Chains A and B, each alone.
Chain A
């Protein structure tokens, strides 16, 4: 009996590599990413370098017939890429990927979105369910691509009921191998904190996130699901647990000022994520837990502390082969 084939986008990323190494025995794996694989890392399957919105992605679909697709390849908010590029990759790229899934008879599709789509807003309820309004692009147009990606995936889900589509909206993913904005910030050892604001945050460990992806791939419950870790932590506590120091910045600082500081040198968080350090954006993951029988295994404290002491973090190895999910 041949093994089912699984396509993973964003295959150079930490979560993809964790997922891949955990399930490589069960599936024929194909990875695709616009970035090459980190030099010290190995992908247990075929790996392609391709932009999601380019013709090359068609070739990836011609080369194999996929039963399952895990779309992890969202380019995260960072200063490295222009909003235009991110829109191309995240929105146009995702639309192209979804279209290819439809035309090539993919059976299960998992799209990983983000909790950022809800937007940090003072009117947010404390635990937002999946049907809460997506306010992200309200105050910061830089987050439009995240919201549009989410929209594209959910619309696809409703229109193409024969393809079992699950959209995951995870909270802040943290872990040794992850390099998103929040991890970089906590690892830097110096975290700006807006004076007087100490919002609650949620974190999910990279291993739990990988586990959540696998659950969503293997069980077939279409829908949109929030995915969270163990519970809530105040930002100041997270800073302390990560052995970092908080640097107070005045509350009246505008995103414009942060933008200028960011331009001058590295300044912690991206300006358009500023509101997430002001107002809590907390999601309710009860539905995911109930439907998929998911329970986070890594304690939030543990994963925050596991970012490791500063000196060791500078020489991060990218190998995840020794990790088990």
Chain B
């Protein structure tokens, strides 16, 4: 049987003080009008200005070595920072992916030159990365991807496309998982490699794909004979699948899989208290055990990741259950306080509700669909 217990993390006094520091910073910035709280802000709230501010505070890449512009803080400090940013609905999407997974991937597999070049730029909050996994014809079946690179003098020539690349239109680079040798039907995970593609390079075209709300978050990115120099290969040629999978544990277990719609819940509780609506409050609190236990799980995974423990199965669980919880908030809220949700409303409850409902379908798709995640968990638990 797999280990079902996660570590119990109790934050230290210093960590609680750090939490206060982040909170005060956010309250101050909000007061100054730097940002407005929004649901799903880690995907749909980009503000290069705000990212730069976080960079100045040392709050991007804060766990990385100092020589690469990091702060050498531990994973739990970073956890506190990210959950505070999400609870406040701050606009963090510009640098989010680079901080969460591209940077850690480079730290783990990148060359010295790559680390020295990219990490300080990410940490300053002025270089962003997009994720390059999904393709038009391979969604959940990632290994069926068809984008390929051919060997050439001093590098590789990349041809193909990537899709659902959130923020690619503002990102500077994309980490592209592509095929570098012919598909072996008996070992589809072999022959894949990861490259850092410069999104401003000749041959790159970025086409916006409008989200169902009309907003522009994701894109289709075309690579037409794009030259990738040898020094932009990540790790080993042929090891791309394994490397790509390590990204996913970071991608799936963080607080953004629980807190995307938290601003709505916060506002719901505030209104119920203000109205003295005890009955409504009794219904609303039914959401809290799920929130709290998911948070404990997610923090436990952060600790495990820091200790180098394999967390693929638990990370899949956090994502599966956390995103269903995120959707539940809106479903419950709409019955407790009945209003007409609208993104145009001047009332923040109605606006948060609209954001939560309209973004909802994406929660259980992005970063691995619910169906894929459940397969991973089931196979893991059966294999013991």
Whether chain B is bound by chain A comes out as no
Which residues of B does A touch, CB under 8 Å? none
